[in-house]
């Protein structure tokens, strides 16, 4: 079953290669969507694809790259149709 989520990740998630590593992980999992920095210092991720792949990415977002210190990952269902995964 396919679906989409939109997540907001907070903590030390900017300036630690969070967007690039999230894109790599999402592509590895076959997901479409995007990742971008937000003005408040958080990161937004939209991911669409197989539910099991979305769940794997959601778990990975709590860890992020080695320099990150994630304090919260809040996700909600999202609608969209994304091919590829881009960094904004």
pLDDT single digits (tens) 14-35: 999 999 999 999 999 999 999 9
Could you tell me what percent of the chain has a pLDDT over 70? 99
Walk me through the domains of the chain, giving residue ranges and CATH numbers: 2-87 (3.30.70.100)
Supply the pLDDT for residue 48: 96
User: Across-strand partners of 69?
Assistant: 12
Phi first, then psi: what are they for 82, rounded to 5°? -120, 130
* The two three-digit tokens of residue 54, written as one number: 């979305």
Helix (H) or strand (E) holding 22: helix 18-28
Supply the pLDDT for residue 81: 82
pTM of the model: 0.95
Q: Tell me which residues are annotated as active site.
A: 19, 37
């Amino acid at each position: 079953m396919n679906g989409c989520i939109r997540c907001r990740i907070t903590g030390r998630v900017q300036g630690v290669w969070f967007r690039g590593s999230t894109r790599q992980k999402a592509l590895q999992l076959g997901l479409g969507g995007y990742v971008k920095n937000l003005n408040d210092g958080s990161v937004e991720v939209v991911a669409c694809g197989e539910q099991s792949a979305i769940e794997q990415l959601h778990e990975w977002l709590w860890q992020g790259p080695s320099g990150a210190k994630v304090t919260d990952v809040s996700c909600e269902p999202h609608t969209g149709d994304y091919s590829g995964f881009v960094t904004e």
